[in-house]
Amino acid sequence: MKRIKRFQTLLALSLTTAMFLASCKKDDPRADEQPELMNYFVGIEVGEEYYMVPSKDIMSGSISVVGNGIEGIAHHAVVKDGYLYVINGDEATLDKYKITETGITKEDAISTAAVMSGSFARYTDLTETNDLLLMNFPNDEGNAPYAIIDIATFTVESYGSFKMPNVDRYKPSWCRAVVSGDKVYVGGEYGVPEVYGDIPDSLITIVYDYPSFTNPKTIISKASGGSVAGYRTNGSFKDEKGDIYQWNLRSNQWASNPEDVPNTPCVFVKITDGEYDDGYAFNVSEEFDEPVSIWNAWYAGNGIAYANVILESDLSVWDNLYENYGQLYEIDIYNKTVTKLNIPKAPLSDIFSLNSVKDGKFYIPVCVKGGNANIYEIAIGGGPGDVKVGAKLDGNNVYAPSLNILN
Amino acid sequence: MFKLFLLNTAFFCLLNFTGYAQPQEEVTVRGVVVTPSGTPIARASVALAGTRYGTTTDEQGQFDVKAPVGNYTLLVACVGYAAFEVRLHLRKESMKPLKVVLKESKVNLDEVDVVGKTQVQALRETGFSVESVETADLQNQSIQLNRILDWTPGVRVRQEGGMGSNYNYSLNGMSGNAVTFFIDGIPMEYFGSSYTINNLPVSLIKRIDVYKGVVPVDLGSDALGGAIHVVSDSKRKRFLETSYSYGSFNTHQAVVHGQYSHSASHFTTRVSAFYTHSDNNYNVWGQGVNYADASTGFKAVDFTKENPATRFNDQFQTFNGKVDVGFVDKKWADQFFVSLLASTQRKGIQTGQTMATVYGKLHYKEVLLMPHLSYQKENLFTDGLTVSLFSGYSNRKGETIDTAMAFYNWKGETTPHEQGGGEISRNGKSWYTLYEDSWINRINVTYRLPAEFKLGFNYFNSSAKRHGKDPYVSAYRVPHIAPQNIHRQFAGLSLETKKFDERLYVNTFLKWYDFKTTSNELEYFIVDGEYQATAVPIKNNKSNWGGGIAASYKFHPLFLTKFSVEQATRLPTPTEALGNGVLVTNNPNIKPEQSLNINLGLVWGRIPIGSQQGLTVTAGVFYRDTKDQLLYMIASRDDGIYENVGQTLGKGVELAMVYDLNHWLKVNANMTYLDIRNNQRLEDGVPNIIYGDRLRNTPYLLGNAGISANIPNSIQGGSKLFAYLHANYLHEFYLYWPSLGTADTKNIIPSQLVYDLGVGYTLPGERISVALDLSNVTNTQAYDNFLLQKPGRAAFIKLKYQLAYN
């Protein structure tokens, strides 16, 4: 009996294996039946109008908003496990869209008005615990609203506000967080709001327990001054080793002139084990012949970040942020090198979310004012010329504030 | 049965094919039409049979008709009275005023041919594209002016909510501040936000002239897309009338309107006052009207028609009073008045830019005082010289009060404010006060030249200063804490003539516009170790020239053609340039809008159909080429900014028909189709993807149909019964550019058909009237703006009593 049973089991296993292998054959027509989901999501602004345009290809052809795209959403999106999560400002909701082979379909919505009481969700970030962290800046009292949404169940785990302390005479005005383990690191911009031009000569981060946002602890780096709250994108990111890196926004168009608070260059700094690592600072300004500022940086992995660098001499007025003065640089934060990429100058400072690393490539939309708009593919760590021009976006009056990829 | 009902009110049937002789010397026939008991009869028709000379009587029964010397038959007719007919010999010598006594009668006046020309008719026969809406039949009703104007071809009134809510006029597709409002020739923007076309009771209004595109010089200001001119109901003698209406949503409106004029000295005092209150607590539901709390897992759950939400912070209350003291009919002045306008307002602010954002306590208060002088004189110093002057000062204080420390939802429930902010202010409480001081001066001069020419000159000058304060907010966050100024000037010169026995009308004009703004931004400097704020002025100055021509020609007594063209400029308003400190931020680099407007129109009628019926057909086409169009751009969920956004090219057609049965029954219908497109081919030298797209958020297909009856002697002899039913259709349109995005995900303002009806009864003697109005009869979910629902079905009753009249 045992032998017969063993034989039957072996036979069953053999048949199953054979069927499985047969199903994997390349020429099996059923292999083509697997639905190919939309996997690229390009946020598009046309004036004051916003669209999220799904695409299956970002390296050839064109991605047009004419006749395509979901109206009303473009800036803050997260793609995870077959769903796209996006802040809907018109209806004060966080919308959940199912990604399909033809586009996205709205499935659910959480009222951000209810959980961000008296405020609104300025941005949403995916945490390492697969939560969505909604936040806004602190008010004059230093209270910043937040909500934590569990992605798996699409429910509100917790919400409320946390208090950011004053540091000496400086008050918090912007903030953005990155979660690491049971801590959340809230990079801050500090200053004296009544008086533009008075900022501390240091970088300030408040560390809280996560997800409770309790036990605030202020950590300070003297590597430079300015904001580590980011601009449109986060000012902090976590690398594969578990360290947190920050870049600072420091410009004559932001809070104060650098000469008002001297010795405050553009830097990358590191936080290890809950404290600033005073042994690490990458002075990016020293890599340039004239003063520069960073307006957005994105981490692509393996110590490589991409940053939008603008010459301070080009920023005589605020509106120049929207001119072709932004240059993308590859910054190796481990080896402390800066590489100018062979990508045209463009306004890159209003890119709100880029979750666009795939197969060792980093993708970014570049919309040259008065010129072409394209997706660019950059081989991470590949040098200045290892860049490809991808899909063409619509004309000049289109700006792409986000690109999210379903991996 | 119809023979029981007689002809009513003013009427114009160009039935006579009069010869077009060279002009002769004219004389004036004056008189009064009364009942046997001496009561004046208003709106009786007075005509010289077989000619085009005629008029209608005013509220005092008085009339005057100008005609060349000669022999005529004078015909006087009025609904409910037997027609009066008498031979009349007009001669150069002055004639005694006539007294015509009409006896009550139930005889049909079918056979009487009456020819005359009211102000409305005269206006329609100019070359301007103008609709004139007479309110006589509706003065007894409880109906908003906005609603009445919404029935006019080419007009769409976009209201954000109920009584007292913000509104926006679209005139042949030009909207926002491109449409300028005037009351008796003065721009209404200086009269505050209470004394507006939205709030003025219909009983205070005589008529409303709607100019589309091209605007005559005598209105004395810049206007790009057109102008709406409200003509108040001024009577010549003593009277006092009052009305009160009550209706849905706890809406009350009381109006007092009177005048005393001393017979000998001609000393005259006028008073008009009105009070309006509404809770505006109507139901809303659907997209954007949702609630979310722990019980729903914070998921947004929409309210439904069966389970709607009720607006709870939308109360509106205003009191307005205007007193004029002066003289009329003096040697030195036809009218001279010293006036004071005072108004107060309080209104709740229920929502943000859409119903998705709810406020529970946020509200606005305003107080306005406006002393002003007005002077008018015909034949000043010399025959044919008419001068009209206006000078006024306006002081306005507007307060936006945001002191609730709670967050509201559509259930009206509150949760503690996690951040300790107000409802729109995230930084604690806010009580923002905006002070505005304005000076307004206008002079209007016309001079009659030989050969039937008339020269007109108009100069308008205004300046406004704004500054703000907020005791709860850090100084650096208070808008307008440093004063900001705007100064605007307008001058116009026109030459007008009527030729070929008034078959040809031509008005050509030249306009000059100028504006200066000074916006102040605070910059901080360290002085003696302390930060001190210094206001750094940002100046902006622009001037423009414009001009145009309006002409009409009557090829046939029943067929009038009209043409007008203007290169127009509209200067930014104080709010567009300086912001309002709350929801609108300033734009120091703002530029004037400019537009080339062309209108072509024809009027055919009244075409007699048999002996009792008539049909009037009006058609028009227009062209608008607009540059630097100023549009309000939503900058965030709460605020926005006015920006020059580009070019549009608009074409459109409108058609209106009025059928009448002996003038007592009228059936009218009109439709308007607009084709307004983005006309900016390149942007920064690169093709614009929305070039040629239909203009977003702009209604483009609209129509109206209505029937009204004015039935005399229906219940009692001498009484009047008035009834109307009106349907208003709006075709759906996109909120954003139509070509962008996937069609089924686009936000739309849906198609809607809304019915209004009403009935009014005036007792014999016209002292007492009662009226019932029902709006949005079918309780349609109506929107003029995206996710801002308007009131559903509502009923109002109104009682009007004329206390004295002589």
User: pLDDT tens digits, residue range B181-204?
Assistant: 888 888 888 888 888 888 888 888
Q: Cβ of B454: how many Cβ atoms within 10 Å?
A: 16
What are the tens digits of pLDDT across the range A205-232? 999 999 999 999 999 999 999 999 999 9
Q: Which residues of B touch A194 (CB under 8 A)?
A: 474-476, 524, 531
Secondary structure class of B108 (helix, strand, coil): coil
Cα angle A197, A202, A207; round to 5: 120
**A91 contacts B476? CB cut-off 8 A:** no
Domain ranges of chain A: 39-74+352-407
- B43 within 8 A of B143, measured Cβ to Cβ: no
Mean pLDDT of A85-95: 88
What are the tens digits of pLDDT across the range A141-178? 899 999 999 999 999 999 999 999 999 999 999 999 99
What are the tens digits of pLDDT across the range B642-684? 777 778 999 999 999 999 998 789 999 999 999 999 998 887 7
Secondary structure class of B296 (helix, strand, coil): helix
Residue B638 confidence (pLDDT) = 54
What are the tens digits of pLDDT across the range B677-691? 999 888 778 888 999
| Range among A111-120, A327-336, B1-10, B133-142 with highest mean pLDDT value | A327-336
Q: What is the mean pLDDT of chain B?
A: 84
Mutate to test the interface with B, among A45, A48, A159, A392 (most CBs of B within 10 A): A48
Model confidence at B418, in pLDDT bands (50, 70, 90)?
low
From the list B288, B297, B684, the residue facing A155 with the nearest CB is B297
Q: Which residues of A touch B745 (CB under 8 A)?
A: 69-71
Chains A, B: CB pairs < 8 Å: 168
What is the dihedral angle through the alpha carbons of B564, B565, B569, B574, rounded to the nearest 10 degrees?
20
> Å from B356 to nearest chain A CA?
5
Domains of chain B (ranges plus CATH)?
2-116 (2.60.40.1120), 239-805 (2.40.170.20)
Residue B593 confidence (pLDDT) = 85
Residue A175 confidence (pLDDT) = 96
**Predicted confidence (pLDDT) at residue A133 exceeds the cutoff of 90:** yes
Question: Lowest-confidence range among A363-372, B256-265, B306-315?
Answer: B256-265
Mutate to test the interface with A, among B298, B402, B476 (most CBs of A within 10 A): B298
Q: What is the pTM of this model?
A: 0.81
Model confidence at B91, in pLDDT bands (50, 70, 90)?
confident
Which residue, B42, B33, B180, is CA-closest to B712? B42
Cβ within 8 Å of B, A 321-380: 369-371
What are the tens digits of pLDDT across the range B361-402? 999 999 999 999 999 999 999 989 999 999 999 999 999 999
Show the tokens assigned to B466: 């704004």
Pairing of strands B559-570, B530-556: antiparallel
Q: HSE, CB side, 13 Å, CA atoms: give it for residue B116.
A: 25
**Predicted confidence (pLDDT) at residue B730 exceeds the cutoff of 90:** yes
Q: A118 in contact with B at a CB cutoff of 8 Å?
A: yes
Cα angle A308, A313, A315; round to 5: 60
Euclidean distance between the first and the last CA atom of chain B, given in angstroms as a whole number: 35
**Predicted confidence (pLDDT) at residue A259 exceeds the cutoff of 80:** no
Model confidence at B419, in pLDDT bands (50, 70, 90)?
low
Mean pLDDT of B691-710: 92
**Predicted confidence (pLDDT) at residue B116 exceeds the cutoff of 50:** no
Mean pLDDT of A175-187: 97
> Å from B330 to nearest chain A CA?
58
Q: A209 in contact with B at a CB cutoff of 8 Å?
A: no
Q: Which residues of B touch A198 (CB under 8 A)?
A: 531
Q: Which residues of A touch B288 (CB under 8 A)?
A: 91
Model confidence at B220, in pLDDT bands (50, 70, 90)?
low
**Predicted confidence (pLDDT) at residue B7 exceeds the cutoff of 60:** no
Residue B17 confidence (pLDDT) = 28
Q: Which residues of A touch B426 (CB under 8 A)?
A: 118-119, 139
**Predicted confidence (pLDDT) at residue A28 exceeds the cutoff of 70:** no
What are the tens digits of pLDDT across the range B567-578? 988 888 777 877
Residue B345 confidence (pLDDT) = 96
Mean pLDDT of B21-37: 68
Q: Which residues of A touch B407 (CB under 8 A)?
A: 113, 117-118
**Predicted confidence (pLDDT) at residue B261 exceeds the cutoff of 80:** yes
Mean pLDDT of B283-295: 90
Q: CA nearest B404 in A: which residue?
A: A118
Residue B406 confidence (pLDDT) = 80
Q: A92 in contact with B at a CB cutoff of 8 Å?
A: yes
**Predicted confidence (pLDDT) at residue B236 exceeds the cutoff of 60:** no
Which residue, B724, B725, B608, B723, is CA-closest to B661? B608
